[in-house]
Amino acid sequence: MATVISGDTGIDKVQSSANPDNYPADALDDSWNYTRSTALNITSNTTFDWNVPTHIGSNISESSGVFTVTNSGLYMISCRMVNNSTSNTTASFKLRINNVDVNSTRLYWASASEVAYLGASSCWTFPLNAGDNVRMYGLGYIRGSNDMVNFSGAKIGEL
């Protein structure tokens, strides 16, 4: 059972055991957060497959690392990737929207075996239309640990 409450911000929030932080209900529906539980060694460019959903809203679908939105809006998307321990593999991933690389979204590092868990993270905002899809695409030996890698997105405004 949910209770709608209003605060000084004028934004109605839904309070329930499924939404203990009182996020606006539609924010939960138009958002996702995935991690990876096992290491993944990608030796040629491909879509990174996040395999652990920590949250996926009812307006988002996911298939093999590709996330599709059903509502148009301005979305904030973030990604954090870390190399697998002391792997000396170079990693290079870009955000793709509708299977097209997006400029200035590259996460890159040239690992050295003496540096453990080297990585990169970034956050971007992009307008997405209903039916658009997003993914991280590239290569590298990525750590599999629910607390060290993630890919998330949330609708933060209307177009």
**pLDDT tens digits for 59-88?**
999 999 999 999 999 999 999 999 887 677
Over residues 129-147, mean pLDDT: 92
How far lies 136's CA from each of 107, 113, 158, in Å? Answer: 9, 24, 24
Residue 56 in domain: yes
DSSP assignment of 123-156: EEEEEE-TT-EEEEEEEEEE---TTT-EEEEEEE
In a domain, 24, yes or no: no
Cα angle 146, 45, 120 (rounded to 5 degrees) comes to 45
Q: By residue range, what is the domain housing residue 147? A: 33-157
User: Which pLDDT belongs to residue 85?
Assistant: 72
Kindly state whether residue 74 falls inside one of the protein's structural domains. Answer: yes
Which whole number is the average pLDDT over 36-63?
95
- Residue 28: is its pLDDT beyond 50? yes
More confident residue, 117 or 25: 117
**Banded model confidence at residue 22, pLDDT cuts 50, 70, 90:** low
CATH number at residue 66: 2.60.120.40
pLDDT surpassing 70 at residue 6? no
Average pLDDT over the chain reads: 85
Residue 19, pLDDT > 70, answer no
Q: Report the number of distinct structural domains present in the chain.
A: 1
Q: What average pLDDT does this structure show over 27-36?
A: 93
pLDDT for 98 beyond 50: yes
> Which two tokens mark 118?
């080297």
